[in-house]
Amino acid sequence: MNKLKSDMKPERLHKILSANGVASRREAERMILQGRVRVNGVQATLGQSAEFGVDSISVDGVPLTVGDEKVYIMLNKPCGYVTTLSDEKGRKTAMSLIADVSVRVYPVGRLDMNSEGLLLLTNDGSFANTIAHPSYNKQKTYEAEVRGDARKAARLLKQPIEIDKHTVQAVKVELSKLTSSGGILKITVQEGRNRQIRRMCAACGVSVHSLKRISIGTLKLGKLKTGQWRYLTGEEVNKLLT
């Protein structure tokens, strides 16, 4: 690509990759370290800056182009799938479930391998940041089948709990059902710490047998079957961003 005059300022490469739907910023840094990214034909280095639309940027030999259509997808992720773009341990990834999508997308946030439910994928970095960053207060609701005293746990989960030296607290907790071994809790949180629901439940004396994310902000999983995906409507995207 020839050098042209541009009003754009140089940006860190991992930010460019994230904003254009290649990967999250953290994953993009890993891709750079793995030697998978080139700028003007030269292997990129971590911390390098470039000008998107001026410099030629490629990932795994595929050029990053201007003007790709923005895509927003919701997937009902099954258990047993990791939410990374690829996995060095050879585990199944959520990306394999959307292999027929023609545009490169990446997961918004994480849903651990043993959890299921609503996972968003996009190539819109600004949208992903709005959904995932705690400062935007996007609430996420989970349905947790727990073993132990579910009634007591429902009370305790409403109180502040310390995880990784940070205080977290459920926005809402509902005891949906009592079972012979425990019960089913519907838990809404605003933070997104690693294995947060499982660790909050453990701190309240119950263990999580199964965990399913059923909503993110205004978007509900609804009747979407396990392993299936669909595009979000424009109205759904707009509501998530407001």
pTM listed for this prediction:
0.77
Q: Do 29 and 56 reside in the same domain of the chain?
A: yes
Distance of CA 15 to the CA centre of its chain: 16
Residue 118 structure tokens: 């609503």
Q: Is 3 a domain residue?
A: no
Active-site residue flag, 112: yes
Q: Is 203 a domain residue?
A: yes
State how far the alpha carbon of 232 is from the alpha carbons of 1, 133, 221, in Å: 34, 20, 11
Supply the CATH number for residue 212's domain. 3.30.70.1560
- Helical pair 125-132 and 234-241, crossing angle rounded to 10 deg: 50
Q: What percent of the chain has pLDDT over 70?
A: 95
Residue 7 structure tokens: 């009003």
pLDDT, tens digit (0-9, with 9 covering 90-100), for 112-164? 999 999 999 998 888 888 898 777 889 999 999 999 999 999 999 999 999 88
Return the sign of the alpha-carbon dihedral for residues 82, 207, 150, 200. negative
Q: Report d(CA 237, CA 227) in Å as an integer.
A: 21
Q: Report d(CA 109, CA 70) in Å as an integer.
A: 18
Asked whether 187 and 204 are in contact (CB, 8 A), the reply is no
Q: Do 26 and 56 reside in the same domain of the chain?
A: yes
Q: Report d(CA 111, CA 130) in Å as an integer.
A: 17
Q: Do 113 and 174 reside in the same domain of the chain?
A: no
Q: Do 208 and 151 reside in the same domain of the chain?
A: yes
Q: Do 115 and 173 reside in the same domain of the chain?
A: no
Q: Is 228 a domain residue?
A: yes
H or E element, residue 38: strand 37-39
pLDDT, tens digit (0-9, with 9 covering 90-100), for 48-76? 999 887 889 988 887 877 656 789 999 99
For position 68, what pLDDT does the model report? 64
Residue 1: which pLDDT band, with cuts at 50, 70 and 90? very low
User: Phi/psi of residue 98, each to 5°?
Assistant: -120, 35
Q: Do 161 and 196 reside in the same domain of the chain?
A: yes
Supply the CATH number for residue 229's domain. 3.30.70.580
Of residues 55, 60, 68, 112, which has the active-site annotation?
112
Q: Report d(CA 169, CA 150) in Å as an integer.
A: 17
For position 8, what pLDDT does the model report? 58
Q: Do 89 and 182 reside in the same domain of the chain?
A: no
Q: Do 154 and 130 reside in the same domain of the chain?
A: no
Q: Do 81 and 127 reside in the same domain of the chain?
A: yes
Residue range(s) defining the domain that contains residue 98? 72-134+219-241
Supply the CATH number for residue 50's domain. 3.10.290.10
pLDDT, tens digit (0-9, with 9 covering 90-100), for 220-231? 999 999 999 999
Count of structural domains, the chain: 3
Residue 31: which pLDDT band, with cuts at 50, 70 and 90? confident
